[in-house]
C-alpha cells in the first residue's frame, strides 16, 4: 500500500514535459510504467522501465520507480543495483541520494548484512530530511535500531525446524492466516488459489477465500483442503478469519462491503447444525470507519482481540480487545504498551490459556520487517514482548501463527524456496522458550438422549472446582450433539450439560497431574420416575461424611434443578466400594447421603422432598478389583421417585 501511494504521487505531480536532459520517448515510457504500476501490473511496468532506462540511463525518476517495484516484488539483488546506480548518477539530486540509500539499506537488511545496513541507515537518516516522506524516514530509523537487535538474534538462533504441510494444504498460490480447533484436528486458513467458478482478476489475481483441512483419524495426515461453503465464501474477498476452539463460530474479515463501517470490518457467522449463518457485521462496538482485521477469540469466548488502524492508538495499526458482557461486545480497549508501539502491530493470536499472546510487529527489536513476538499476562500486566527468534523470524514479513492447545505444535505462513507457492503453511514443534504460559488439553463430546440415543443440543459448562469460576460455556451442535472445548492443565474441573426436560449430566476432570484428552458420550436422562442423577463432583473428607468445599459447585446445580422442578421428590443415595466390612460401608454410605440431604435442606429445599439412604457396596457399577472400578463405585446419586 505504501508503494502504491508513492507511485500515485509520481503520476499526479508528473511534469507536463520531460525533465531537462530526458527525451520525450523515455518520459512517455516512464508515465506508461507508472500507470501499469498503479494497475498492479508490476512485471509489465518493469519491462517498460527497462526500455526507458536503456534510452536514458541517467533517468533518476525511472530508477526510483524501478527500485520501488523491485522492493514490492522482493527482488533485493536488483534493489541493491538500483541503489548503487542512483548514487553513481552524474548529477543525482538530494532526493535521488536519499532514495539510493533507502534502496541499499533495504537490500542489506534483506540480505542480513546488518553491519553494512547500519552504516547505510545512519547516512539515510541524515540525507532523507526534507527529501523523503515522513513514513519512510521513520522506517529508516526503525531499521537502524533493528540492525543491532537482528545481528544479536542471528548469533543466537532458535531450534526452528519448519515442515511444509504439503499439497493437501498448500497450493501454487498463497496460503496464510491459519486457525486451529482445540483438538488440533481441523485447520482453517486463507488462500488465493484458483477457483473453477470464478475467473481470475487481471489486476489482483484470485480473490481470497477460506479453506479447511482435517487430519485423518487413521493416519494422522492432513486431508485435501476444502473450500468453505457459502455463505462463508462468496464472489468477493473473505480472509483473515478466526474460528473458535470448537470450530462452531467464525470471525471473518470482509472488506469494501456496502453494509461495512470502514474499509475492512470483522463479521460473525455461526455453524447451526451443518450450515453456516450469513456473516453479520459485529457493529460499531468492534468496527469503525477505519480498518479492522485479524480477530482472535479467547477459548472461554469472553474476549476478542483484533488489529485496527482506528484513531486513539499508539501507531499505524494497534492491537485492541473487547469484552463480551451483557450479551454484547463492549467498546474496545487499546492494549497499550508494552505491546503496541508507534509502528504497526498485527495478527494477535491468544493461546488456549488466555494468558499468552502472539502477535506481529515491525517496531519491536527484530529482524527488519514484520516479526512475531510473544507476551504473557501477569498480575501487573503484559510482559515485555519477546522476539520468537531467528530463523523463525527473518528480514521478510512473518506475521501469521497459531499454536495448538497443548502448546506443542504451531502453524505458520512462510515464503520459502522449497515452498509450493508464494506463501505456504508450515508446522513446527514449539520449543520451551516460546510456549504458552499454561498448557491445555481438550474435551470432545457428543450429547445424546439416554433412551433413544439421538443427538441433543445442550448447554455445556465447565467450572473450576476450587475457584467456582465458569471457564468454558457453549452449546452442543443442534444437529450432531457434538461439542469441543479446551481445558488448561493443573486444575480440577466439573463439567455440566443441561437440556430442557432432562436431568443435568455431571462429569469430572482432574488435570492437576495429567494432560489426558477426553472423548465422551454424554447420555442425558429425561426427568421421569426412576431417573438417576450421578453426582461426580461430590467430595468428602477421607473416611468421613464431611462434605468438602469443592462439592458446592455440583450441589448448587442440584439445588437449581430441584427449584426448577418443585413437585418432584428424590432419594439421595450413598454408595461405597467393597473395601472394609459391609456394616462399616453401610454406615458410611448412610452418613454421606444424609450429609448431602442436610446441605440441600439448609439451602431451602423442603425436607419432605428428600430422603437419604445408604447402600454400602451392594450396588457396584465398576469392578471392585481395580482402583478405577472402585472409584466409580464410590459415588452419590439422586433418584427421582415421584411427584406430589
Any domain includes 240: yes
Any domain includes 238: yes
DSSP assignment letter at 434? G
What's the pLDDT at 108?
95
What's the pLDDT at 237?
86
Average pLDDT of the segment spanning 1-29? 67
Judge whether 78 and 70 are in contact, CB under 8 Å: yes
Per the listing, cell 536488483 goes with 78
Any domain includes 614: yes
Give CA–CA dist 53/142, Å, rounded. Answer: 32
Return mean pLDDT, the chain.
93
Indicate the pLDDT class of residue 20, thresholds 50, 70 and 90.
confident
| 146 and 187 together in one domain | no
| 230 and 82 together in one domain | no
Give CA–CA dist 306/295, Å, rounded. Answer: 4
| 472 and 561 together in one domain | no
Reading the block at residue 247, the C-alpha cell is: 470450530
| 510 and 643 together in one domain | no
HSE of 547 in the Cβ direction (CA atoms, 13 Å)? 20
Beta-strand relationship, 226-227 and 264-272: unpaired
Give CA–CA dist 556/480, Å, rounded. Answer: 29
| 339 and 451 together in one domain | no
Tell me how far CA of residue 551 lies from CA of 350, 506, 610, in angstroms.
32, 12, 18
Beta-strand relationship, 249-255 and 239-243: antiparallel
Element (H, E) at 35: helix 24-38
Is 641's pLDDT higher than 90?
yes
How many Å from the N-terminal Cα to the C-terminal Cα in the chain?
Answer: 73
CATH number of the domain within which 537 lies: 3.30.1330.60
Is 356's pLDDT higher than 70?
yes
- DSSP E strand boundaries for 298-423: 303-308, 318-325, 328-329, 333-334, 345-350, 356-361, 371-378, 381-382, 386-387, 401-403, 409-414
| Domain finish residue from 377, 410, 434 | 434
Give CA–CA dist 394/370, Å, rounded. Answer: 9
| Domain finish residue from 129, 155, 181 | 155
Hey, how many other C-beta atoms are within 10 angstroms of the C-beta on 618?
A: 13
For the four alpha carbons of 405, 164, 114 and 66, in that order, the dihedral sign comes to negative
Percentage of the residues of the chain whose pLDDT score is greater than 90:
86
Secondary structure tally for the chain: helices H, strands E:
11, 34
pLDDT tens by residue, 87-140 = 999 999 999 999 999 999 999 999 999 999 999 999 999 999 999 999 899 999
| 84 and 63 together in one domain | yes
What's the pLDDT at 10?
47
CATH number of the domain within which 255 lies: 2.120.10.30
HSE of 150 in the Cβ direction (CA atoms, 13 Å)? 29
| 478 and 620 together in one domain | no
| 444 and 429 together in one domain | no
Q: What is the DSSP annotation of 138-178?
A: HHHHHHHHHHHHHHHHHHS------EE--TTT--SSBEEEE
Give CA–CA dist 507/490, Å, rounded. Answer: 17
CATH number of the domain within which 70 lies: 1.25.40.10
Percentage of the residues of the chain whose pLDDT score is greater than 70:
96
Any domain includes 161: no
Judge whether 269 and 279 are in contact, CB under 8 Å: yes
| 143 and 257 together in one domain | no
Is 529's pLDDT higher than 80?
yes
Give CA–CA dist 313/309, Å, rounded. Answer: 8
Any domain includes 163: no
Residues 523/525/526/532 CA torsion (nearest 10 deg):
180
Which pTM does this prediction carry? Answer: 0.88
* Mean pLDDT lowest among 141-145, 240-244, 463-467: 141-145
Give CA–CA dist 484/497, Å, rounded. Answer: 13
What's the pLDDT at 376?
98
| 131 and 45 together in one domain | yes
Average pLDDT of the segment spanning 600-627? 95
| Domain finish residue from 434, 469, 484 | 434
Q: In what order do the strands lie in the sheet with 635-643?
A: 532-535, 635-643, 568-575, 610-614
DSSP assignment letter at 432? G
Average pLDDT of the segment spanning 530-537? 94
Give CA–CA dist 521/531, Å, rounded. Answer: 18
What is the three-class DSSP state of 201?
Answer: strand
Judge whether 268 and 250 are in contact, CB under 8 Å: yes
Per the listing, cell 499508539 goes with 314
Q: In which domain, by residue range, is 510 found?
A: 439-526
Residues 381/511/499/533 CA torsion (nearest 10 deg):
-140
Element (H, E) at 443: strand 440-449
Nearest-CA neighbor of 144 among 164, 118, 166?
A: 118
3-state helix, strand, coil in the chain (%, to 5): 25, 30, 45
Beta-strand relationship, 518-524 and 440-449: parallel
For 516, phi then psi, to 5°, come to -60, 140
Any domain includes 594: yes
CATH number of the domain within which 508 lies: 2.60.40.2190
Any domain includes 518: yes
What's the pLDDT at 15?
59
Reading the block at residue 43, the C-alpha cell is: 512485471
Give CA–CA dist 130/136, Å, rounded. Answer: 12
Reading the block at residue 607, the C-alpha cell is: 425436607
Any domain includes 372: yes
Is 194's pLDDT higher than 90?
no
Average pLDDT of the segment spanning 613-639? 94
Give CA–CA dist 118/360, Å, rounded. Answer: 23
| 35 and 87 together in one domain | yes
Tell me how far CA of residue 314 lies from CA of 79, 311, 318, 335, 362, in angstroms.
31, 9, 7, 10, 13
| 324 and 352 together in one domain | yes
pLDDT tens by residue, 206-247 = 789 999 999 998 899 999 999 999 999 988 888 899 999 999
Reading the block at residue 69, the C-alpha cell is: 517495484
What is the three-class DSSP state of 609?
Answer: helix
| Number of domains present in the structure of the chain | 4
Judge whether 447 and 497 are in contact, CB under 8 Å: yes
Amino acid at each position: 500500500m505504501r508503494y502504491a501511494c508513492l507511485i500515485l504521487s509520481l503520476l499526479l505531480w508528473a511534469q507536463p514535459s520531460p525533465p531537462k536532459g530526458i527525451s520525450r520517448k523515455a518520459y512517455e515510457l516512464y508515465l506508461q510504467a507508472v500507470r501499469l504500476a498503479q494497475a498492479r501490473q508490476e512485471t509489465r511496468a518493469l519491462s517498460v522501465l527497462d526500455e526507458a532506462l536503456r534510452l536514458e540511463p541517467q533517468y533518476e525518476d525511472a530508477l526510483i520507480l524501478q527500485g520501488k517495484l523491485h522492493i514490492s516484488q522482493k527482488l533485493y539483488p536488483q534493489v541493491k543495483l538500483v541503489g548503487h546506480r542512483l548514487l553513481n548518477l552524474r548529477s543525482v539530486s538530494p532526493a535521488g541520494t536519499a532514495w539510493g540509500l533507502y534502496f541499499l539499506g533495504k537490500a542489506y537488511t534483506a540480505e542480513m548484512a546488518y553491519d553494512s545496513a547500519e552504516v547505510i541507515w545512519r547516512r539515510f537518516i541524515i540525507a532523507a530530511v526534507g527529501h523523503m516522506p515522513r513514513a519512510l524516514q521513520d522506517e529508516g530509523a526503525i531499521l537502524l535500531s533493528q540492525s543491532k537487535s537482528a545481528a544479536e538474534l542471528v548469533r543466537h538462533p532458535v531450534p526452528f525446524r519448519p515442515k511444509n504441510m504439503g499439497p493437501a494444504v498448500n497450493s501454487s498460490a498463497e496460503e496464510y492466516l491459519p486457525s486451529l480447533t482445540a483438538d488440533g484436528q481441523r485447520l482453517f486458513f486463507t488462500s488465493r488459489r484458483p477457483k473453477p467458478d470464478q475467473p481470475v482478476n487481471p489486476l489482483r489475481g484470485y480473490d481470497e477465500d477460506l479453506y479447511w483441512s482435517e487430519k485423518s483419524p487413521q493416519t494422522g495426515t492432513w486431508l485435501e483442503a476444502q473450500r468453505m461453503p457459502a455463505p462463508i465464501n462468496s464472489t468477493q474477498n473473505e480472509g483473515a478469519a478466526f474460528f473458535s476452539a470448537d470450530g462452531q463460530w467464525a470471525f471473518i474479515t470482509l472488506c469494501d462491503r456496502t453494509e461495512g463501517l470502514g474499509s475492512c470490518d470483522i463479521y460473525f457467522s455461526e455453524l447451526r447444525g451443518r450450515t453456516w449463518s450469513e456473516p453479520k457485521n459485529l457493529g460499531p462496538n468492534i468496527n469503525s470507519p477505519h480498518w479492522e482485521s485479524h480477530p482472535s477469540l479467547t477459548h472461554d469466548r469472553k474476549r476478542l482481540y483484533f488489529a485496527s488502524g482506528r484513531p486513539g492508538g499508539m501507531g499505524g495499526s494497534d492491537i485492541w480487545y473487547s469484552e463480551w458482557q451483557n450479551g454484547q461486545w463492549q467498546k474496545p480497549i487499546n492494549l497499550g504498551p508494552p505491546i503496541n508501539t508507534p509502528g504497526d502491530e498485527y495478527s494477535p493470536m491468544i493461546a488456549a490459556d488466555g494468558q499468552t499472546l502472539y502477535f506481529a510487529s515491525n517496531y519491536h527489536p527484530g529482524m527488519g520487517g514484520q516479526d512475531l513476538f510473544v507476551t504473557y499476562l501477569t498480575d501487573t500486566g503484559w510482559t515485555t514482548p519477546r522476539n520468537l527468534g531467528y530463523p523463525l523470524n527473518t528480514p521478510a514479513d512473518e506475521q501469521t501463527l497459531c499454536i495448538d492447545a497443548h502448546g506443542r505444535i504451531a502453524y505458520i505462513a512462510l515464503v520459502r524456496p522449497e515452498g509450493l507457492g508464494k506463501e505456504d503453511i508450515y508446522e513446527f514443534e514449539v520449543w520451551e522458550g516460546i510456549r504458552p504460559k499454561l498448557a491445555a488439553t481438550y474435551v470432545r463430546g457428543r450429547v445424546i438422549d439416554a433412551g433413544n440415543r439421538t443427538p441433543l443440543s445442550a448447554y455445556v459448562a465447565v467450572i473450576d472446582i476450587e475457584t467456582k469460576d465458569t471457564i468454558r460455556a457453549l452449546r452442543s451442535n443442534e444437529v450432531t450433539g457434538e461439542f469441543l472445548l479446551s481445558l488448561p492443565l493443573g486444575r480440577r474441573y466439573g463439567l455440566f450439560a443441561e437440556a430442557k426436560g432432562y436431568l443435568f449430566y455431571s462429569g469430572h476432570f482432574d488435570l492437576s497431574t495429567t494432560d489426558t484428552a477426553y472423548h465422551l458420550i454424554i447420555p442425558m436422562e429425561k426427568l421421569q420416575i426412576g431417573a438417576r442423577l450421578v453426582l461426580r463432583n461430590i467430595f468428602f473428607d477421607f473416611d468421613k461424611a464431611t462434605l468438602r468445599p469443592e462439592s458446592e459447585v455440583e450441589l448448587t446445580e442440584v439445588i437449581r434443578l430441584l427449584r426448577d422442578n418443585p413437585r418432584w421428590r428424590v432419594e439421595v443415595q450413598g454408595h461405597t466400594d467393597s473395601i472394609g466390612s459391609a456394616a462399616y460401608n453401610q454406615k458410611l454410605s448412610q452418613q454421606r447421603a444424609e450429609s448431602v440431604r442436610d446441605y440441600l435442606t439448609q439451602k431451602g429445599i423442603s425436607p419432605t422432598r428428600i430422603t437419604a439412604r445408604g447402600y454400602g457396596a451392594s450396588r457396584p457399577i465398576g469392578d471392585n478389583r481395580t482402583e478405577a472400578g472402585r472409584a466409580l463405585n464410590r459415588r452419590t446419586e439422586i433418584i427421582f421417585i415421584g411427584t406430589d
